[in-house]
Structure 1
Amino acid sequence: MTNLIQTLISGLSLGSIYALIALGYTMVYGIAKMLNFAHGDVIMVGAYSGIVAVAQMGLSPWVTVIVSIAVCAVLGVVIEFCAYKPLRQAAPLSVLITAIGVSYLLQNAALLIFGSQQMAYPTLVKLPGFTVGGVHVDGITVLTLAVTAALMIALTLFIDKTKLGKAMRAVSEDKNAATLMGISVDRTITLTFAIGSALAAFASMFYGMTYVYIKPTTGAMPGIKAFTAAVFGGIGSIPGAMLGGILLGLIEQLSKTYISTLWADAIVFAVLVVVLVVKPTGLLGKPMQEKV
Structure 2
Amino acid sequence: MLEQQLVNALSLGCVYALFALGFTLVFGVLGVVNLSHGAIFMVGAYTALQVVTRLGLPLWASLVAALVVSGLFGLAVDFLVLRPLRRRNAPHLIPMIATIGLAIAMNNAAQGLFGAENQRFPADLVPDTQLTLGGLQLSVIEMAIILLSFTLMGALLLLMRRTQMGRALRAIAESPKAALLLGINVEGLFYLTSFTAAALGGVSGVLIALYSNAVFPLMGQPMLHKGIAVIILGGMGDIRGALIGGLFLGFAEVMSVAYIGSTMRDAVAFGLLFVVLLLRPQGMFGRVLERKA
Shorter-chain TM range is over 0.9
Rate the CA distance shift 1:75–1:262 in 2: closer, same or farther, 3 A: same
Say which SS state the counterpart of residue 137 (structure 1) adopts: strand
2:11 maps to 13
User: TM-score normalized by structure 1?
Assistant: 0.93
150-159 or 103-112, which deviates more: 150-159
Shift of 1:227: 2.1
Q: Deviations over 1:82-129 (max 9, x none)?
A: 111111111111111112111111100101110111111346553732
Shift of 1:46: 0.8
Counterpart residue identity of residue 72, structure 1: S
Counterpart residue identity of residue 91, structure 1: P
Counterpart residue identity of residue 262, structure 1: T
The answer as to 2:110 corresponding to 1:107 is no
1:71 maps to 69
Shift of 1:132: 5.8
How many Å separate the matches in 2 of 1:285 and 1:149? 22
User: TM-score normalized by structure 2?
Assistant: 0.92
Instruction: Confirm or deny: 8 A CA contact 1:152 1:239 kept in the other structure.
Output: no
Instruction: Confirm or deny: 8 A CA contact 1:31 1:169 kept in the other structure.
Output: yes
186-195 or 148-157, which deviates more: 148-157
Say which SS state the counterpart of residue 262 (structure 1) adopts: helix
Say which SS state the counterpart of residue 213 (structure 1) adopts: coil
How many Å separate the matches in 1 of 2:274 and 2:253? 15
Instruction: Confirm or deny: 8 A CA contact 1:234 1:283 kept in the other structure.
Output: yes
- Alignment match of 2:78 (pick from 77, 80, 83): 80
Shift of 1:77: 0.3
How many Å separate the matches in 1 of 2:118 and 2:139? 24
Give the alignment of 1:128-147 within 5 angstroms. 128-131=129-132, 135-147=136-148
The answer as to 2:246 corresponding to 1:248 is no
Q: Deviations over 1:65-94 (max 9, x none)?
A: 221111001100001111111111111111
1:177 maps to 178
2:167 maps to 166
Shift of 1:152: 1.8
Instruction: Confirm or deny: 8 A CA contact 1:124 1:209 kept in the other structure.
Output: no
Q: Which runs of 5+ in 1 are unaligned?
A: none
2:288 maps to 287
Shift of 1:143: 2.1
Q: Deviations over 1:5-57 (max 9, x none)?
A: 22222222211111111111111111111111111111111111111111112
User: Runs of at least 4 residues of structure 1 off by over 6 A?
Assistant: none
1:218 maps to 219
Shift of 1:61: 2.8
1:22 maps to 20
How many Å separate the matches in 2 of 1:74 and 1:133? 41
2:50 maps to 52
2:94 maps to 94
How many Å separate the matches in 1 of 2:83 and 2:134? 54
How many Å separate the matches in 2 of 1:132 and 1:145? 14
How many Å separate the matches in 2 of 1:290 and 1:182? 20
Counterpart residue identity of residue 270, structure 1: G
Say which SS state the counterpart of residue 262 (structure 2) adopts: coil
Shift of 1:262: 2.1
Shift of 1:197: 0.8
How many Å separate the matches in 2 of 1:290 and 1:192? 19
Say which SS state the counterpart of residue 130 (structure 1) adopts: strand
Shift of 1:134: 6.5
Say which SS state the counterpart of residue 137 (structure 2) adopts: strand
Counterpart residue identity of residue 273, structure 2: L
Give the alignment of 1:258-269 within 5 angstroms. 258-269=259-270
How many Å separate the matches in 2 of 1:222 and 1:64? 21
1:34 maps to 32
How many Å separate the matches in 2 of 1:158 and 1:127? 34
Instruction: Confirm or deny: 8 A CA contact 1:47 1:121 kept in the other structure.
Output: no
